[in-house]
């Protein structure tokens, strides 16, 4: 089939074997066989309705295409790896089965608008899987947050212990990220939802086709308004790749923290054995390989985005063969993100939280120092004065190997007469968390509100 090209009318030589292999896209665009057949049936139906095809010609074409789809799905028909692309394969197979009527299918259509339509249909379908994965991951994180509303841990800035927070609050931060990711994909799909079918090669057609009909039948909101733009637009690929890259950024940050927290230096969490591996030489090792792989695959998706942007940056209108490079990148990113999400969900579900270790870590690092300063402010001392005074107390405690809770009231009173016995209640770690009452804070009441918000957002 490789020598039987649909475009060979003006050529006197067959394509060189190396050039043929280089030019072929069947290895990856065969993923879109279902979309290609769906679009072709819709196109044929429109040609019939507008009088370009007869009823019998349409029925012959539609039946033939349905048979090809069924045979591919049943494994009775293998997609020919020597075909130039999926569009050529389907048209050639159709003509082989129904004869001359098969050659009429491509009337008022080009492979340029055909591939653009196929790709959009495929992306709409596959992005549904990504959205489902994001939903499941967000629900998983939210459920883990529910279980840890009162689990106190150190919060960090610059990877240094900063203030006490709840583990729920930390997980909910990721819920908010993934909710934004969900929204970004929906936004991109909304802009994608216009059909290029009927734009033809670049300038439209002289046939009286009904592009609005095919757009509606295929489930698009409408038809692209400019034929040049319709065949050359790949903004939707870039937008989705950008959204996928942000998903991977968030997955990578979460993975990085879980990797740190599962180490003996932290021991805040423990991965289930089903999501860990061992060492070939060190029998004691339990490695967080799934989280590390998610972190590693992030660069791969970034590369897909940058490759697509670079491919597009210097292209004149309308279609250029360079644009064949869009599919491998977007298909790879789709598959990578989907796999990472599918692993992340059960990895989070089975994650063991170690609250005692988290609380123990809170006792070190003077993470209640801000609360001690706030204690003085509420008794009338200016914040900046209180800040400096508490900084001196922290330095004194470090020198003596004491925590702020262990420093005696007499020592406190040497620094300010405002200190009373109730200061110890003010700097109790769990009280420090509970007192956070501002909207979105780590206080227990606010965390419960965030959990409810996430549940409602997912619904």
Cα 284 to Cα 82: distance, rounded to the nearest angstrom: 51
Length of the chain measured in residues: 459
Of 292, 326, 360, the residue that ends a domain is 360
Place of tokens 């007499």: 410
Same domain, 92 and 230: no
Q: Which of these is catalytic: 3, 56, 203, 279?
A: 279
Mean pLDDT over 429-448 rounds to 96
CA-to-CA dists, residue 216 to 47, 221, 270, angstroms:
15, 7, 51
Cα 34 to Cα 199: distance, rounded to the nearest angstrom: 21
Structure tokens at 159: 């990877």
Cα 177 to Cα 457: distance, rounded to the nearest angstrom: 12
Same domain, 79 and 187: no
CB 89 within 8 A of CB 79: yes
Same domain, 346 and 452: no
* CATH label of the domain that carries residue 408: 1.10.40.30
4 falls within a domain: no
Same domain, 116 and 249: yes
Verify whether residue 279 is a known catalytic residue: yes
Domain span at residue 440 reads: 362-458
- The pLDDT tens digits of the residues spanning 314-366 come to 999 999 999 999 999 999 999 999 999 999 999 999 999 999 999 999 988 89
Q: Which of these is catalytic: 12, 158, 280, 408?
A: 158
Please give the pLDDT value at position 6: 66
Please give the pLDDT value at position 408: 94
Return the ∠ at Cα 217 (arms to 213 and 221), rounded to 5°.
80
Same domain, 426 and 348: no
Same domain, 389 and 322: no
Of 360, 391, 426, the residue that ends a domain is 360
Same domain, 32 and 116: no
Same domain, 427 and 449: yes
CB 86 within 8 A of CB 97: no
- Say if residue 20's pLDDT is above 80: no
Those residues whose C-beta lies under 8 Å from the C-beta of residue 222, and which sit 6 or more positions away, are 193, 194, 195, 212, 215
Same domain, 298 and 375: no
Mean per-residue pLDDT over the chain, rounded: 95
* CATH label of the domain that carries residue 292: 1.20.200.10
89 falls within a domain: yes
CA-to-CA dists, residue 320 to 17, 22, 106, 110, 201, angstroms:
21, 15, 20, 13, 11
- Beta pairing partners, 160: 157
180 falls within a domain: yes
Same domain, 177 and 189: yes
Mean pLDDT over 124-145 rounds to 98
Cα 259 to Cα 344: distance, rounded to the nearest angstrom: 13
Cα 459 to Cα 453: distance, rounded to the nearest angstrom: 10
Cα 288 to Cα 343: distance, rounded to the nearest angstrom: 12
Please give the pLDDT value at position 2: 42
Verify whether residue 60 is a known catalytic residue: no
Please give the pLDDT value at position 13: 72
- SS3 annotation, 289-310: HHHHHHHHHHHHHHHHHHHHHH
Rg (CA), the chain: 31
* Reported pTM: 0.92
Structure tokens at 60: 């012959």
């Amino acid at each position: 089939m490789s020598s039987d090209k649909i475009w060979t009318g003006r050529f006197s030589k067959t394509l060189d074997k190396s050039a043929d292999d280089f030019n072929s896209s069947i290895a990856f665009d065969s993923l879109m066989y279902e979309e290609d057949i769906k679009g072709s049936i819709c196109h044929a139906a429109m040609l019939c309705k507008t009088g370009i095809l007869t009823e019998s010609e349409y029925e012959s074409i539609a039946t033939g295409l349905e048979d090809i789809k069924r045979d591919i799905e049943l494994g009775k028909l293998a997609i020919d790896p020597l075909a130039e692309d999926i569009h050529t394969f389907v048209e050639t197979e159709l003509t082989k089965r129904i004869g001359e009527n098969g050659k009429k299918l491509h009337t008022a259509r080009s492979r340029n608008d055909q591939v653009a339509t196929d790709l959009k249909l495929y992306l709409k379908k596959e992005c549904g899987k990504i959205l489902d994965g994001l939903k499941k991951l967000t629900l998983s994180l939210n459920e883990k947050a529910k279980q840890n509303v009162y689990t106190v841990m150190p919060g960090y800035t610059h990877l240094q212990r900063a203030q006490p927070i709840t583990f729920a609050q930390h997980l909910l931060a990721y819920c908010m990220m993934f909710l934004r990711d969900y929204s970004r994909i929906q936004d991109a799909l909304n802009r994608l939802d216009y059909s290029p079918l009927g734009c033809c090669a670049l300038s439209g057609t002289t046939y009286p086709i009904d592009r609005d009909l095919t757009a509606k039948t295929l489930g698009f909101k409408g038809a692209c308004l400019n034929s040049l733009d319709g065949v050359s637009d790949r903004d939707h690929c870039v937008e989705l790749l950008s959204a996928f890259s942000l998903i991977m950024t968030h997955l990578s940050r979460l993975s990085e923290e879980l990797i740190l927290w599962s180490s003996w230096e932290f021991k805040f969490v423990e991965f289930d054995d089903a999501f860990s591996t061992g060492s070939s030489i060190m029998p004691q090792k339990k490695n967080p390989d799934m989280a590390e792989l998610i972190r590693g695959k992030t660069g791969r998706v970034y590369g897909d985005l940058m490759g697509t942007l670079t491919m597009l940056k210097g292209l004149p209108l309308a279609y250029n063969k360079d644009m064949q490079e869009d599919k491998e990148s977007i298909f790879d990113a789709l598959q990578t993100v989907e796999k990472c999400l599918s692993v992340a969900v059960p990895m989070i579900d089975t994650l063991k939280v170690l609250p005692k270790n988290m609380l123990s870590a809170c006792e070190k690092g003077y993470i209640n120092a801000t609360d001690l300063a706030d204690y003085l402010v509420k008794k009338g001392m200016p914040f900046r004065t209180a800040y400096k005074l508490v900084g001196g107390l922290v330095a004194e405690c470090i020198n003596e190997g004491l925590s702020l809770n262990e420093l005696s009231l007499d020592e406190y009173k040497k620094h300010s007469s405002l200190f009373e016995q109730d200061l110890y209640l003010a700097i109790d770690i769990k009280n420090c968390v509970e007192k956070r009452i501002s909207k979105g804070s780590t206080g227990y009441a606010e965390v419960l509100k965030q959990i409810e918000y996430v549940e409602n957002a997912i619904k």
